């Protein structure tokens, strides 16, 4: 019950070529999405540190994810929560959680593109 | 030399190799990739002596000293190969594919799904870029990208000996770590 | 000043020999950084003067190791004064924290560390060295987890060192700031709370991350109480918070309100909380969402629970949820157990039983071969010794 190497490879190739991650992610169950989120987060942080130096803060990535959460809320949260918590909503609002996870993973993919200057 | 296809012939031929070369200890590596992946250039860049056993299996030998030899099998996935025998005692394996070819990548994924299900040996995923420009800044992927404790991803130039050696050295490092 | 070879920079690691340092040296090797382990400060000093390394990674204090003394001695010597110096320290020791912030070291890494992260950061420093002409441009600061070092610890340390710093705190999705000038807390920001309320709330963040930057800044003083007073009241509040939290349902419990409630008898805060409970939500989220003094919110919630105005129940659990919870627990547990970030995942990947068998050969498989295929996993055995592998490695590198 963890990400297969072939899936990690697929994700990594998409990150390094700047291609969309959603086609890879759509068939995945919610449990895998959470693991993918973590994997992509770790890789984004790794590329950030490698490209921008040791002081590269996690907030560079977190800020992008937060703004997505805020945008989502402006469209209405099904659970009427004040803050978006991916893992929290896994049980309560799996559909919304899936949409948010996909958006955040794509956002991290875009961040990697910027870091690696992929055209 | 005869092709290394069936398990019996494989074992016989391996013994013959040992007798002929007189080596005491042997290490085996497998370089596997989808059809079209540059296994032969990879082995040629690594091993002083390379023989094409048949169209699907290439054998390279890398002598270390008179008592130690490394054999490298270059195979196309999907062809007859005694995985069950070699898999038990190979040091590790390298999955090589053409980074710029989507079909080659798809083929490599199939290989990885198979090999990682059956073998808990360390392996390197080597994305061959040939003579083309590195697709991302070098510092981003230096020295490699880890995918698990026993799996690393690297770019390589299959026709460049120092690039090929780096891949094998990285595999050896995984092995040494496993032994510790 | 660039010490050592730029192609394969040399790093001096001053620490006791252990599996941790061995792992770090190996990972540094992956980054083409040659690390030499030394376990004695005197010996390290002489090595640095004779053959200056590109960088020094040093434990603070162990047996024959005194990282701080070594740092001072090197800074007084022309051959050693420009060597970048990074301390490895367990930050639970107040004395260590104080030392770290008092001195002009280049960076600090908390123990226990991920070797991969250390290697990436060291490599980045060495890259900076190569790019700059005037020596390493030092910036002071570090990041860490609030579980290791909470805001109270940080403020206390800065106060003792009379330092100025900006502390940026994260507790996803919230973030706050604390401004400290010459050891005194002058301002804090969290949501739209007043400075003191913000500080009080931030002091109670026991989970999350911080990014501390030592720097001077211009900021009007919004908090007038002395740091000592703030620390004393902060620790009292944390104690009260923990006590109250122990009497409450678990933080992931779902709270919901009764349908008909007479609100006249409620306080403003209680009414505000009820307004947030139009739909049931977890206790933890409700506290964050209230954007108020968290201790007061907790008190108000406890009152509402006791009066039956709101109820708490465990989150609805489905079999999928149980599976998800199990997975997340296992991921978290593996993360705790293994230092190598990649082995976290590999550690609980158990092959074997129940796996769907695949044919080892693409086409026909003879019965004899099928018998060999029968075990789902082929046990990997290495028939060469470690020395043989090292020889092969050496041979390849020597070519």
Nearest CA in chain C to B88: C380
Distance from C-alpha of A54 to C-alpha of C127, rounded to nearest angstrom:
10
- Here the contacts of C244-251 (C-beta below 8 Å, separation 24 or greater) are C244/C295, C244/C298, C244/C299, C244/C302, C245/C298, C247/C302, C248/C283, C248/C298, C248/C301, C248/C302, C248/C305, C249/C283, C249/C305, C249/C312, C250/C283, C250/C314, C251/C282, C251/C283, C251/C284
- Lowest-confidence segment of A10-24, B47-61, C56-70 by average pLDDT: B47-61
Query: Which pLDDT tens digit goes with each residue over B62-88?
Result: 988 877 889 898 888 766 566 766 776
Q: Is the pTM of this model over 0.90?
A: no
Question: Nearest Cα to B170, choosing from C388, C380, C31?
Answer: C31
Q: Which is higher by pLDDT, C212 or B8?
A: C212
Query: Which pLDDT tens digit goes with each residue over B104-116?
Result: 999 999 999 888 8
- Lowest-confidence segment of B102-111, B121-130, C13-22, C314-323 by average pLDDT: C314-323
Residue B98's Cβ-side half-sphere holds a number of Cα atoms within 13 Å equal to 14
Residue C144 domain-assigned?
A: no
Residues of chain A contacting residue C121, judged by C-beta atoms under 8 Å apart? 49, 54
Residue C292 domain-assigned?
A: yes
Residue B24: per-residue pLDDT: 55
Query: Which pLDDT tens digit goes with each residue over C141-161?
Result: 666 677 767 888 888 878 777
Subunit contact A88:C252, Cβ cutoff 8 A: yes
DSSP string, B127-162: EE-TTSPPSS-HHHHSS-EEEETTEEEEEE-TT-HH
Residue A45 contacts B where some CB pair is shorter than 8 Å? no
Class of domain B7-179: alpha beta
Residue C362 domain-assigned?
A: no
CA distances from C96 to B158, C58, C206 (A): 50, 13, 21
- Here the contacts of C74-82 (C-beta below 8 Å, separation 24 or greater) are C74/C45, C74/C48, C75/C104, C77/C49, C79/C48, C79/C49, C79/C52, C80/C45, C80/C48, C80/C49, C80/C52, C82/C1, C82/C3, C82/C135, C82/C136
Subunit contact C327:A80, Cβ cutoff 8 A: no
Subunit contact B88:C379, Cβ cutoff 8 A: yes
Residues of chain B contacting residue C127, judged by C-beta atoms under 8 Å apart? 139
Measured in angstroms, the CA of A19 and the nearest CA of chain C are apart by 24
Distance from C-alpha of B160 to C-alpha of B163, rounded to nearest angstrom:
5
| Average pLDDT of the residues of chain B | 81
Distance from C-alpha of B34 to C-alpha of B53, rounded to nearest angstrom:
18
Residues of chain C contacting residue A81, judged by C-beta atoms under 8 Å apart? 279, 281, 285, 289
Taken in order A26, A28, A32, A35, the sign of the CA dihedral is negative
Residue A118 contacts B where some CB pair is shorter than 8 Å? yes
Q: Are C121 and C30 part of one and the same domain?
A: yes
Subunit contact C170:A59, Cβ cutoff 8 A: yes
Rounded mean pLDDT of C221-236?
84
Q: How many other C-beta atoms lie within 10 A of the C-beta of residue C88?
A: 22
Q: Are C48 and C90 part of one and the same domain?
A: yes
Q: Are A8 and A39 in contact (CB under 8 A)?
A: yes
Q: Are C129 and C15 part of one and the same domain?
A: yes
Distance from C-alpha of B98 to C-alpha of B77, rounded to nearest angstrom:
14
Residue C112 contacts B where some CB pair is shorter than 8 Å? no
Residues of chain B contacting residue A16, judged by C-beta atoms under 8 Å apart? 135-136, 141
Q: Are A78 and C275 in contact (CB under 8 A)?
A: no
Residue A71: per-residue pLDDT: 73
Which residues in C180-193 are b (16+ Cβ under 10 Å) and which e? bbebbbbbbbbeeb
State percent of chain B over pLDDT 70.
Answer: 78
CB-closest option in A35, A58, A82 to C289: A82
Taken in order B151, B157, B163, B168, the sign of the CA dihedral is positive
Rounded mean pLDDT of A12-36?
88
CB-closest option in B109, B136, B142 to A9: B109
Q: Which is higher by pLDDT, C67 or C133?
A: C67
Q: Are A82 and C297 in contact (CB under 8 A)?
A: no
Q: Are C241 and C295 in contact (CB under 8 A)?
A: yes
| Average pLDDT of the residues of chain A | 82
Residues of chain C contacting residue B18, judged by C-beta atoms under 8 Å apart? none
Q: Which is higher by pLDDT, C251 or B132?
A: B132
Mutate to test the interface with C, among A91, A94, A96, A104 (most CBs of C within 10 A): A91
Residue C188: per-residue pLDDT: 94
State percent of chain B over pLDDT 90.
Answer: 41
Residue C136, pLDDT above cutoff 70 = no
Residues of chain B contacting residue C29, judged by C-beta atoms under 8 Å apart? 173
Write phi, then psi, for C355 (nearest 5 degrees).
Answer: -75, 145
Q: Which is higher by pLDDT, B59 or A93?
A: B59
**Across-strand partners of B26?**
B69
Residue A20 contacts C where some CB pair is shorter than 8 Å? no
Q: Are A44 and A105 in contact (CB under 8 A)?
A: no
Rounded mean pLDDT of A50-64?
80
Query: Which pLDDT tens digit goes with each residue over B85-140?
Result: 677 678 999 999 999 999 999 999 999 988 888 888 899 999 999 999 988 888 88
Residue C4 domain-assigned?
A: no
Subunit contact C124:A53, Cβ cutoff 8 A: yes
Judge if the upstream peptide bond of residue C82 is cis by omega within 30 degrees of 0: no
Residues of chain B contacting residue A115, judged by C-beta atoms under 8 Å apart? 140
- pLDDT grade for C363, boundaries at 50, 70 and 90: very low
Classify residue B43 by burial, with Cβ atoms within 10 Å: 0-12, 13-18, 19+: buried
Measured in angstroms, the CA of B170 and the nearest CA of chain A are apart by 18
CA distances from C359 to B31, B33, B114, C41 (A): 20, 18, 9, 59
Taken in order B59, B166, B148, B112, the sign of the CA dihedral is negative
Residue A52's Cβ-side half-sphere holds a number of Cα atoms within 13 Å equal to 18
Classify residue B121 by burial, with Cβ atoms within 10 Å: 0-12, 13-18, 19+: buried
CA distances from C42 to C10, C37, C71, C100 (A): 19, 13, 11, 20
Torsional class of B55: left (φ above 0), alpha (ψ -120 to 50), beta (otherwise): alpha
The range of the structural domain enclosing residue C281 comes to: 247-313
Residue B30, pLDDT above cutoff 90 = yes
For chain C, what is the domain count? 4
Highest mean pLDDT among C113-127, C183-197, C344-358: C183-197
Q: Are C189 and C263 part of one and the same domain?
A: no
Residue A15, pLDDT above cutoff 60 = yes
Axis crossing angle, helix C227-246 with helix C294-306, rounded to the nearest 10: 20
Residue A84 contacts C where some CB pair is shorter than 8 Å? yes
- Lowest-confidence segment of B68-82, B105-119, C85-99, C238-252 by average pLDDT: C85-99
With H, G, I as helix, E, B as strand and everything else as coil, classify residue B124: strand
Question: Nearest Cα to B57, choosing from B121, B14, B120?
Answer: B14
Residue C316: per-residue pLDDT: 58
Which residues in B47-82 are b (16+ Cβ under 10 Å) and which e? beebeebeebbbbbbbebeeebbbbbbbbbbbbbbb
Residue C272 domain-assigned?
A: yes
Residue C359 domain-assigned?
A: no
Strands (E), B34-172: 49-54, 57-65, 68-76, 92-98, 123-128, 145-148, 151-156
Residue C206 domain-assigned?
A: yes
CATH label of the domain that carries residue C94: 3.40.50.2300
Residue A85 contacts C where some CB pair is shorter than 8 Å? yes
Q: Are C47 and C130 part of one and the same domain?
A: yes
CB-defined contacts A:B, below 8 A = 48
Rounded mean pLDDT of A39-43?
90
Residue B21: per-residue pLDDT: 45
Residues B38, B42, B46, CA angle at the centre, nearest 5°? 175
Q: Are C283 and C264 part of one and the same domain?
A: yes
């Amino acid at each position: 019950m963890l990400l297969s190497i072939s899936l990690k490879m697929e994700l990594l190739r998409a990150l390094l070529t700047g291609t969309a991650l959603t086609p890879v992610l759509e068939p995945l169950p919610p449990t895998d999405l959470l693991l993918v989120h973590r994997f992509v987060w770790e890789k984004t942080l790794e590329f950030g540190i490698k490209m921008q130096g040791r002081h590269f803060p996690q907030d560079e990535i977190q800020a992008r994810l937060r703004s997505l959460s805020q945008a989502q809320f402006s469209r209405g949260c099904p659970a009427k929560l004040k803050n978006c918590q991916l893992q929290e909503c896994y049980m309560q609002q799996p559909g919304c959680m899936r949409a948010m996870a996909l958006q955040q993973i794509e956002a991290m993919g875009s961040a990697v593109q910027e870091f690696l200057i992929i055209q | 030399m005869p092709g290394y296809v069936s398990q019996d012939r494989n074992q016989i031929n391996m013994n013959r190799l040992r007798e002929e070369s007189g080596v005491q200890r042997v290490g085996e590596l497998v370089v596997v990739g989808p059809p079209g992946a540059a296994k032969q250039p990879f082995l040629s860049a690594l091993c002083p002596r390379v023989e094409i056993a048949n169209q699907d299996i290439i054998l390279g030998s890398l002598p270390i000293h008179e008592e130690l030899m490394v054999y490298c099998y270059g195979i196309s996935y999907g062809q007859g190969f005694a995985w069950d025998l070699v898999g038990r005692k190979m040091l590790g394996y390298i999955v090589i594919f053409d980074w710029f070819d989507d079909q080659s990548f798809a083929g490599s994924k199939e290989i990885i799904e198979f090999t990682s299900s059956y073998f808990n040996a360390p392996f390197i995923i080597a994305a061959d870029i040939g003579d083309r420009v590195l697709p991302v800044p070098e510092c981003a992927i230096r020295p490699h990208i880890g995918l698990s404790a026993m799996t690393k991803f690297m770019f390589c130039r299959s026709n460049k000996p120092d690039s090929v050696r780096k891949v094998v050295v990285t595999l050896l490092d995984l092995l040494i770590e496993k032994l510790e | 000043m660039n010490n050592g070879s730029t192609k394969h920079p040399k790093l001096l690691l001053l620490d006791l020999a252990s599996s941790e340092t061995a792992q770090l040296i190996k990972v540094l090797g992956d980054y083409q950084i040659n690390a030499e382990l030394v376990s004695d400060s005197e010996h390290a000093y002489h090595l640095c003067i004779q053959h200056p390394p590109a960088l020094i990674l040093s434990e603070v204090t162990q047996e024959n190791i005194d990282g701080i003394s070594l740092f001072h001695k090197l800074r007084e010597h022309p051959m050693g004064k420009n060597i970048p110096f990074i301390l490895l320290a367990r930050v639970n020791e107040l004395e260590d924290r104080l030392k770290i912030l008092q001195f002009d070291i280049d960076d600090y890494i908390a123990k226990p560390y991920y070797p991969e992260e250390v290697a990436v950061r060291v490599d980045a420093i060495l890259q900076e060295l190569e790019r700059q002409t005037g020596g390493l441009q030092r910036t002071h600061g570090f990041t860490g987890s609030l579980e290791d070092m909470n805001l109270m610890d940080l403020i206390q340390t800065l106060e003792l060192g009379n330092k100025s710093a900006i502390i940026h705190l994260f507790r996803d999705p919230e973030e706050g700031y604390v401004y400290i000038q010459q050891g005194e807390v002058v301002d804090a920001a969290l949501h739209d709370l007043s400075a003191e309320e913000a500080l009080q709330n931030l002091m109670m963040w026991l989970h999350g991350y911080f990014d501390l930057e030592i720097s001077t800044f211009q900021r009007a003083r919004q908090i007038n109480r002395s740091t000592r007073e703030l620390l004393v009241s902060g620790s009292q509040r944390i104690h009260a918070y923990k006590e109250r939290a122990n009497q409450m349902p678990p933080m992931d419990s779902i709270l919901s309100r009764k349908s008909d409630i007479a609100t006249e008898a409620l306080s403003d805060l209680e009414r505000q909380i009820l307004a947030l409970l139009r739909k049931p939500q977890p206790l933890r989220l409700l506290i964050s969402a209230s954007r108020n003094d968290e201790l007061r919110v907790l008190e108000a919630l406890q009152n509402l629970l006791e009066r039956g105005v709101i109820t708490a129940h465990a989150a609805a659990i489905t079999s999928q949820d149980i599976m998800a919870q199990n997975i997340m627990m296992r991921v978290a547990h593996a993360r705790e157990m293994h230092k190598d970030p990649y082995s976290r995942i590999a550690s609980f990947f158990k092959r074997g039983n129940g796996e769907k068998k695949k044919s080892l050969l693409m086409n026909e498989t003879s019965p004899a071969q099928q018998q060999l295929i029968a075990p789902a996993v082929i046990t990997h055995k290495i028939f060469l010794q470690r020395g043989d592998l090292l020889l092969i490695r050496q041979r390849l590198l020597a070519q």
